Amino acid sequence: MTQVPTPAPGARKLGLVIDLDTCVGCHACAVNCKEWNTGGEAGILPDYDKYGEQPDGVWFNRIHSYESGTDGHSRTVNFPRSCLHCENPLCVTVCPTGASFKRAEDGIVLIDTDICIGCKLCSWACPYGAREFDEDNGVMRKCTLCIDRIYDESRPAAEREPACVSTCPAKARHFGDLADPQSKVSRLVEERGGVDLLPELGYRPTNKYLPPRQAQIPTTPREAPARPAQGIGAALLQLLDKALSR
Amino acid sequence: MSAKSVAYTTCYMCACRCGIKVHLQDGHLRYIEGNRDHPVNRGVLCAKGSAGIMTAISPARLRTPLKRIGPRGSGSFEAISWDEAMRLLTERLAAIRAGDPSRLAMFTGRDQSQSLTGHFARMFGTINYAAHGGFCSVNMAAAGLYSVGGAFWEFGEPDWEHARLFLLFGVAEDHDSNPIKLGLAQLKAHGAKIVSVNPVRTGYSAIADEFVPITPGTDGLLVLALIHCLLEAGHIDTEFLVRYTNAHHLVIDAPGSAEHGLIARDAEGRELAFDRDTASLVPGSATGINPALNGTYVLADGRRARPAFALLAERYSAAEYAPEAVAERCGIPAATIRRLAAEIAEVAFRQSVVLEQPWTDTNGRRHAQMVGRPVAIHAMRGISAHSNGFHTCRAIHVLQMLLGAVDTPGSWRYKSPYPKPIPCGVPPGRPGATPGAPLSGAPLGMPTRPEDLLLDAEGEALRLDRAFSWEAPLAIHGLMHMVIARAYEAGPEKIDTLFLFMANMAWNSSMNPGEAIRMLSASDEHGNYRIPFVVVADAFASETVAYADLVLPDTTYLERYDCISLLDRPIGSAHGPADAIRVPVLDPGRDVRPFQDVLIDLAGRLGLQDFADAQGRPLYTSYADYIVRHQRAPGIGPLAGFRGADGSTFGRGEPNPEQLRRYIDNGGFCVHHLPAEQLYYKYANRAYLEGAREMGFIGSSAPIVLQLYSEPLQRFRLAAEGHGARVPPERLRERVRTYFDPLPFWYAPLEQAMSDPARYPLHAITQRPMAMYHSWGSHNAWLRQILPENRIYLHRALAAELGIEDEDWVWVDSRNGRVKCRARTMTGVNRNTVWTWNAIGKRAGAWGLGRGAPEFRRGFLLNHVISEFLPAEGAAAPHSNSDPLTGQAAWFDLTVRLEPCGPDTSDETAPLLGANPLRIRRATENTP
């Protein structure tokens, strides 16, 4: 069993805030994540049967689109799913080797694939389905929050964010320190009523989701005239009578 | 120690032209990300762009020139050298050119180098040239260019920063990709309302605040009903109309005469208006007048005339356009239409955006502020792909004009270098007097009168695809979807070589691919093909390659120079003109050449004017060389940036040998930022128009008058009524008379009107998956993991009625045939509409995919049940299934019926065409 470290006083809680109000479900985050990570320090994210019958592969991030409600007012929700870097990560505590671990300094949950034995206990423990098994290497894989980007001091400060956040065309993904109540992400969660996924399970995910909103324009629509229209109406005639200047 | 480098270039995983930053490691692609400084995508990159790394190593990439050795369609080829390929092509084309150059039909698909390919066709002397616009969005382009001098998508964009209400018509996910997503995020950030009018709630519609599940093909009726409501309430910006549109111009009311419906003009040709202050006829362009928008006036010659607006107001005030009259047909409750109209009026007139930015109009009047109507609109394929799309799109532009929501703060805006004069008035080029002579102008132009059409002595089409004939007078992008059928009909006397670039015409780019394949393969009793010679230039082994006689393998977008030119389809925005380049960042490592290099080489070998000197020596060594040195007019070349000997001018300036280097140093693009006073009202903004003229975008800085009423359309209608020297042939008279209405009107899409609603009660359309760009995306190793097979989607209630459940196999039947596919039910869809994703299904053997690929076995194309022809009426030849004005392919007019296949059906789609993978014989061991 692997211990979850007690966060040091002032430790950061890095994570994502994902805006379901603006996510159009375009898969940019998922593909850019795969692209960044497969060629980087995370190591290859395998693809199986690339051009064959059952194309599949390892992804750190997947998008699910579904409808909520079945009446005329249904809403299509696009839901990106990746590791939530929980504060109470059972995927860590079930790990028999210590391969699955949570960092004390920033809360990121990682896998040390050198000591992962591929027993898959962690993926059974994760209620969010955020871990994917690497069949080629027999080890578990998951989102690293782009740890090789966010701490890379050779990158300009503004670019030290996960690939999924940088690439999101709808600006639906935000990255930051959720332990800091003044951070941009904490304020977003506060203002928009950000929620935990499956809070009742007690995993205390770090990542938050912002619920869809509905903008409205209050008006009083004009009622249909009692009799069908005949020629130009009175309101328009009145307008056309007004002097104009060209 | 690994070598890392970074290069900036332009994406081509779809048509949006985003800037990309390509990271290389030891010469291999490591990572592609958005260029943060680029005006199009500002650092973001979509799924397609992020998967470019897999397209660059796709097994579908062609590797060498090919010459067909088996029957067409068999896939049997011999690998040949470029020398041989160029010799074959040059000999063939030289012979065509010496006889009748129009026997070369060159159709260049999703081409972003049309300023080059069109110029090649012009200098070759063939009128038979177009790209893919005819089956993409010519209705949007033409309606926009004939109404407001710009267009949705390519030549305009919403004012994302200031809009308060955004109306999105139809599927738009492919055009634009990242810019619309960025824009939607901006709207969301400031709480604007997004309304999606679309039969299907996917993609951008998913995040709309309101979804209006309209019946396909009725958007025009909805828009005219909204206009009815605005007129009824008097919610019209009349000040805007008289200043910037032709609403007050007097329309001659003399039925039966040759000038009925034309604008009354004075002796100097100026359009007339009636000034209520002086009770006299005055030029409509005069200042200080109080123009009438209603009433009837007597012209100097005694004829009567009425302001254009009066005609419009009368038409749309009629009961037939009341919400209550259109609700059932549109599938939208009347109360919803009335509420939407009220919301539009509320935002336009009570939530005006005022920018404290002075500007000067073309009359020299100084304005202290810019006042805008923050209702922004975007429309795309859902409008365009119907045979009533031109008028529907024009109705949307009329709505914008009535609100004063054209290029004002918060509304739809022009992307530089637009607006252009309306219409630009440059007609399509005509054949030269002798076979070797260039056309009189570019092969595609904008007719404004019957004299501009390309007709033979009998009044029939000169062009193979019948663009610019009475069948499609305003076909400003040509009719690529008709070219195979028309070449087949015309036979070898009219057509020798069909030269296709980057369009999958034997599959997903054709309506009715089965017919396209049959016609490409058809031969006479001697085995001579009906279409004698087919050349295909493409980077990938698409379904079409198997039907080529000669295959010219193109590079991928990461292996060549390109320019995204102001002469063509630039990357300008409302903030200013901009253009960009592609640079080779990878060594192809196979025997392929950039198509543009090949074309320049070919033009040099043929000795074409502008490509070879007087002695016939080639002028350019490559496309890169041409981009820098070619001048279309003095000082105007393919790239506008860094011109002049020292690279200091934008727009006009002598060629700069260092130009490409300067672009590369600047991140692969160049933007000219317009000053704040030029950012709105561009059609009447003096500083903007003068600057645009200096840069060569427009010929004069005169104001551009928005065309609420379209006089050019009336000219064609008058011809149909028998006036003038050029009149349509009898069989087309009524058609031209009906559809060339100077004010937008709604009519049932042609195929729907001819379809039996009892037999085919459902509408069938496609949507664009955001992670794909037609067949390019669906062979990519990563993207195909996201969507390897498609379904036919239908409403739950309809499914219950038909006894269809999720994953059931069903037949989709139309008058043209049937396709078998699996069903999936949903709620966010119009009750009488079924739909699927576009271009997922593939033909076995194509695109480098393995035998059992789901794209072959379960992916399907709706194309199989669409015809490029309407049903024949009587003995007359059928019309093309196209918009009668522009020739736009009417993909979305399809009506179908669904039928469960039953439990015993196979687990495969139908029709299932036989596999024809490329089988390439190597001529010598040394051939790469």
Q: How do the domains of chain B map onto residue ranges?
A: 4-45+558-671, 66-136+427-557, 152-417+709-739, 750-900
CATH of A14-210, one of 3.30.450.40, 3.10.180.10, 3.40.50.720, 3.30.70.20: 3.30.70.20
Q: Taking every pair of C-alpha atoms in chain A, what is the biggest distance, in angstroms? A: 85
Summarize the confidence of residues B827-851 as an average pLDDT. 95
pLDDT digits (tens, 9 = 90+) for A47-101: 999 999 999 999 999 999 999 876 666 789 999 999 999 999 999 999 999 999 9
**CA atoms B86, B89, B92, B98: torsion sign:** negative
| Residues of B whose CB is below 8 A from A40 | 31
Between residues 319 and 348 of chain B, which touch chain A (CB distance below 8 Å)? Answer: 319, 322-324, 334-335, 338-339, 341-343, 345-347
Other Cβ atoms less than 10 A from the Cβ of B308: the count is 28
pLDDT of residue B867 exceeding 60, the answer is: yes
The type of residue at B258 is A
pLDDT digits (tens, 9 = 90+) for B148-203: 999 999 999 999 999 999 999 998 888 889 999 999 999 999 999 999 999 999 99
Check CB contact under 8 Å for B184 and A170: yes
Q: Is B748 on the interface with A (CB under 8 A)?
A: no
Summarize the confidence of residues B859-887 as an average pLDDT. 96
Check CB contact under 8 Å for B288 and A28: no
Confidence class for position B683, pLDDT limits 50, 70, 90: very high
Question: Considering CB atoms only, which of B41, B206, B242 is closest to A244?
Answer: B242
Q: Is B228 on the interface with A (CB under 8 A)?
A: yes
**What local confidence, expressed as pLDDT, does residue B175 receive?**
85
Rounded to the nearest 10°, the torsion over CA B806, B809, B814, B817 is 160
- Fold observed for domain B4-45+558-671: N-terminal domain of TfIIb (2.20.25)
Summarize the confidence of residues B654-682 as an average pLDDT. 98
What's the 3-state SS for B66-130?
Answer: EEECCCCCCCEEEECCHHHHHHHHHHHHHHHHHHCHHHEEEECCCCCCHHHHHHHHHHHCCCCEE
Query: Does the B66-136+427-557 domain belong in CATH 3.40.50.970?
Result: no
* Rounded CA separation B427/B613 (Å): 28
* Rounded CA separation B628/B643 (Å): 9
| Least confident segment among A220-229, B7-16, B560-569, B647-656 | A220-229
Which among B465, B480, B475, B473 is positioned nearest to B732, based on CA atoms?
B473
pLDDT of residue B926 exceeding 70, the answer is: no
**What local confidence, expressed as pLDDT, does residue A228 receive?**
74
Alpha carbons within 13 angstroms on the beta-carbon side of residue B21 total 20
Q: What does the mean pLDDT of chain B come to?
A: 96
What is the distance in angstroms between the Cα of A178 and the nearest Cα belonging to chain B?
21
Q: What number is the ipTM of this complex?
A: 0.97
Query: Do the domains spanning B66-136+427-557 and B750-900 agree at the CATH topology level?
Result: no
Question: Considering CB atoms only, which of B289, B342, B853 is closest to A222?
Answer: B342
| Residues of A whose CB is below 8 A from B780 | none
The DSSP element (H or E) to which B753 belongs, if any, is: helix B750-754
* Rounded CA separation B13/B775 (Å): 11
* Rounded CA separation B201/B826 (Å): 10
Would you give the DSSP letter of residue B346? I
pLDDT block averages, 10 residues each, chain A of length 246? 86 97 97 96 94 97 89 82 97 97 97 97 97 98 98 95 98 98 98 98 98 93 84 94 95
Question: Considering CB atoms only, which of A59, A169, A221 is closest to B46?
Answer: A169
Beta strands in A112-242 (DSSP E): 132-134, 139-141, 173-177, 208-210
Are B604 and B612 in contact by the 8 Å Cβ rule? The answer is yes
> What's the gap between Cα B481 and its chain centre?
13
pTM (2 d.p.): 0.97
Q: How do the domains of chain A map onto residue ranges?
A: 14-210
Check CB contact under 8 Å for A243 and B341: no
* Rounded CA separation A206/A228 (Å): 60
pLDDT digits (tens, 9 = 90+) for B248-300: 999 999 999 999 999 999 999 999 999 999 999 999 999 999 999 999 999 99
Other Cβ atoms less than 10 A from the Cβ of B540: the count is 23
Q: What is the architecture of the domain spanning B750-900?
A: Beta Barrel (2.40)
Instruction: Return contacts of B183-188, CB within 8 angstroms, 24+ apart.
Output: B183/B157, B183/B158, B184/A22, B184/A24, B184/A170, B185/A22, B185/A169, B185/A170, B185/A171, B185/A172, B186/B160, B186/B161, B187/B160, B187/B163, B188/A19, B188/A21, B188/A22, B188/A213
Confidence class for position B27, pLDDT limits 50, 70, 90: confident
| Residues of A whose CB is below 8 A from B339 | 219, 221
Which among A24, A18, A31 is positioned nearest to A77, based on CA atoms?
A24
Check CB contact under 8 Å for A244 and B239: yes
What is the distance in angstroms between the Cα of A159 and the nearest Cα belonging to chain B?
10
Check CB contact under 8 Å for A39 and B193: no
Summarize the confidence of residues B874-888 as an average pLDDT. 95
Alpha carbons within 13 angstroms on the beta-carbon side of residue A222 total 22
pLDDT digits (tens, 9 = 90+) for B123-159: 999 999 999 999 999 999 999 999 999 999 999 999 9
CATH of B152-417+709-739, one of 3.40.228.10, 3.40.50.2300, 3.90.70.10, 3.40.718.10: 3.40.228.10
Q: Is B175 exposed, middle or buried (0-12, 13-18, 19+ CB in 10 A)?
A: buried
| Residues of A whose CB is below 8 A from B771 | 26-27, 31
Are B206 and B220 in contact by the 8 Å Cβ rule? The answer is no
Check CB contact under 8 Å for B234 and A239: yes
